[in-house]
Structure 1
């Protein structure tokens, strides 16, 4: 039996590593015409899962805000479901 590389899982493995570990892409680009620099661009991007980003202190406030909103929406949905079942809130 010959060893073979299974390419079907390559994309899944790549996405898994990116979400778990993350990657930082950094690029410096200078656009010039006739050796005269006209435009400089400095790019930096971080790509990772939200849990990995939060571990490094990125998007922490955003994550907390989204989670609070989801909890509030869940409570509103539970109250609405109770009203549909005839269990309206009593004051």
Structure 2
């Protein structure tokens, strides 16, 4: 009997890699009607876990503000 890997495991592995290492997605989109371009979009998205984002200097200020807010909220609950 040989071990098998289900399709669910592949999705979990993909999400794990994206969160751990990150991925950047870039897309150029042109919306046209009757071959007449109406709207152009240039999209760029960075996907990664917060640890990876802060390692690359993205969302550092936001992360620190959230941690400070959580500490303050936790302190108010203890009183």
Q: TM-score range by the shorter chain?
A: 0.7 to 0.9
- Which residue of structure 2 aligns with residue 38 of structure 1? 38
Gaps of 5+ in 1: 81-91
Determine which structure has greater relative contact order: mean sequence separation of CA pairs < 8 Å that are 6+ residues apart, divided by chain length: 2
TM-score by length of 2: 0.83
Deviation, structure 1 residue 5: 3.6
Q: In the comparison of the two structures, how many residue pairs are matched?
A: 79
SS of match in other structure, 1:12: helix
Choose 1 or 2 for highest CA Rg: 1
Alignment RMSD = 1.7
Structure 2: gaps spanning 5 or more residues? none
Measure, in 1, the Cα distance between the counterparts of 2:40 and 2:5. 42
